[in-house]
Structure 1
């Protein structure tokens, strides 16, 4: 097994207003990891106004291999595509980290070693586990975020089995493969990772989900933020499906069917009480789940499952339908 020198590993962290988390993330990644301590670490900031940039500059005094870069286009896709520039031609492995997550102390070393161990894979993806910390809404959301009702059974959301997959939470890339398919599609403001994976698989390269390398992620702490997040996910998935001519997975169609049933119910309700069937069934289902979460975790915050799941399903479904309409109009 040929070991990649740490000096040929680059870590990129896109940020936008992450003052609450960025110092902890950088410390977790760098303090006890020999590879991370010698790798090039770039924080690509999209114009934070909450002090994120100043915190990164202070951290760089402790860790000289950390540098702050400006990302004028703001999105994660544009941040990652900095790696397509000629100045990064001397690097072999890229590791993407999020500023809104919690990392094990050997994260960079283990990803680099796993890519070295499996020369036939082009990318490593990892599971994310929701962290039940913060305000009551965030804690309650964390109880259900990775469940089948929340994430639909995605293997990278709380999954425990390693293996080849078609998509997952991005962690490490071979830069030759990243360059070969020209990085992310920067027209995507969400779902850019799934779109990248779609092209990576189409190029006959492999993606490995390593369930032993896990991160914690912090869910949104408000209903409004959660709604916006999943609406964007839905729009992105629709664009992805239309771009590649793919049929959505069954679990992805469930929120769409839910939104269509709600719309049908509203149309029927003025004429018949049959319009109450789906809304009442859905309300009872989520209420049952919320009560179970409150009992399981011995916390009233578990009741947040009801509005949180309703927001996730409904906003994703609306976003998907809006994304279909927008993409078709743009294609005309």
Structure 2
């Protein structure tokens, strides 16, 4: 990997556009934007909020932030979809570095400075770090524990951490604007998995996607079983779409949840006719018991994890299995 010079962007401190698609983010938007505006970065920063048709005070809060600080610009995102909002914000941006942040995430104050340093050093077109899930309620803390453990989500570095290096995909992402524009931005047909799909196209064009654990982003997990199940069902559903459209993007980690769901279900059904066939189901339940012990930091979290871990696995698997081929029409 060739080392680039500090003047790769024509300046040691290039301007940065931080883009956020926001929808129903009343609870977290103020903190998310504050974490961006409080950066120790010496270059120019602009924050572009693509505001969708929210059912709470998101628009009012966004307008208030923009009035108080001219660095914050609003664009209207009529359909509220994430990919559409990202493209609208990208088109509005002027900076050579474009950083994606979500409306419920918070970045540390050295985040933007580290991004420029890593982009320069690695020559990558996209860099990202750890999706550091942090909960406030007991249920959210249980979900956060599962999301940060390979026993809950597999060995993806952006969930569990690890050494810096080249990867297939990263959380959120910080991009060279020219690379994003060259591939046409985000595919707006994707309701979920836009990052997976985008990073495939960046790599297909010869770009490097790079993970660095110093880029630590605070993520707020879902607060109910229903919301968690819906989230992971959509993850599985749209990950299947990516695997159909781009061969070679699937691996054992993505196949584990659907195999677990099918194996467990067949074992339970068959076990009523031949009890020995209950064994695969019992093996999975023992895995959940052991994983919950390993992840939990309290008795209460332990019992919550007994529901959280299967919800994540089985919802993802169900989404993957049931994903229709017509979900994203062919672009040809």
- 105 and 4 in structure 1: CA distance in 2 versus 1, 3 angstrom threshold: farther
- Among 17, 26, 45, the residue aligned to 1:19: 26
What does residue 310 of structure 2 align with? 310
Alignment of 1:81-120 (within 5 A): 81-83=87-89, 85=91, 88=93, 90-118=94-122, 120=123
| Conserved 8 A contact 2:75-2:88 | no
Q: For 1:29, which of 36, 43, 68 is the aligned residue?
A: 36
Cα distance between partner residues in 2 of 1:263 and 1:247: 27
CA distance in 1, matches of 2:230, 2:115: 31
**2:236 match:** 234
Q: 1:291 to 1:32 in 2, by over 3 A?
A: closer
Residue 215 of structure 1 corresponds to 217
1:41 deviation in Å?
A: 0.9
Q: Distance in 1 between matches of 2:109 and 2:299?
A: 30
Question: 1:328/1:58 Cα in 2 relative to 1: closer, same or farther (>3 Å)?
Answer: closer
Asked if structure 1 preserves the Cα contact closer than 8 Å seen for 2:14 and 2:97, the reply is no
Q: Pick from 182, 189, 192: which aligns with 1:190?
A: 192
Deviation of 1:281 after TM superposition, in Å, equals 2.0
Alignment RMSD (CA, Å): 2.2
For these two proteins, the number of residue pairs brought into alignment is 323
Distance in 1 between residues matched to 2:286 and 2:162, nearest whole Å: 30
Choose 249-258 or 54-63, whichever is displaced more.
Answer: 54-63
Aligned pairs for 1:1-332 within 5 A? 1-2=6-7, 8-35=15-42, 38-83=44-89, 85=91, 88=93, 90-118=94-122, 120-131=123-134, 133-246=135-248, 248-294=250-296, 297-323=297-323, 325-327=324-326
- Structure 1 gap ranges (5+): none
Q: Secondary structure at the match of 1:167?
A: coil
For the structure 1 residues 293 and 83, does the alpha-carbon distance in structure 2 shift closer, same or farther, using more than 3 Å as the test?
closer
1:193-230 deviation per Cα after TM superposition (whole angstroms, max 9, x unaligned): 00111111111111111211211211111111110111
Q: Name 2:3's counterpart in structure 1.
A: none
Contact 2:39-2:112 within 8 A present in 1 as well? no
Detail structure 1 runs of 4+ shifted over 4 Å in the superposition: 3-7, 327-331
3-state DSSP of counterpart to 1:200: helix
Q: Give 3-state SS (helix, strand or coil) of 2:325's partner.
A: helix
- Which of the pair is proportionally richer in helix? 1
Q: In 2, distance between residues paired with 1:263 and 1:215?
A: 36
CA distance in 1, matches of 2:284, 2:183: 42
Q: Which whole-Å CA distance do the structure 1 matches of 2:61 and 2:327 have between them? A: 43
Partner Cα distance (1:305, 1:270) in 2: 27
TM-score by length of 2: 0.90
Counterpart-to-counterpart distance in 1, 2:216 and 2:256 = 28
Seen in structure 2, the aligned counterparts of structure 1 residues 198 and 329 have a Cα distance that, compared at 3 Å, is closer
Conserved in 2, the CA contact under 8 Å of 1:166 and 1:198? yes
Question: Structure 1 residue 102: deviation in Å?
Answer: 2.2
Tell me, yes or no, if the aligned pair for 1:128 and 1:215 is still in contact at 8 Å: yes
Aligned mates of 2:18, 2:53 — CA distance in 1: 19
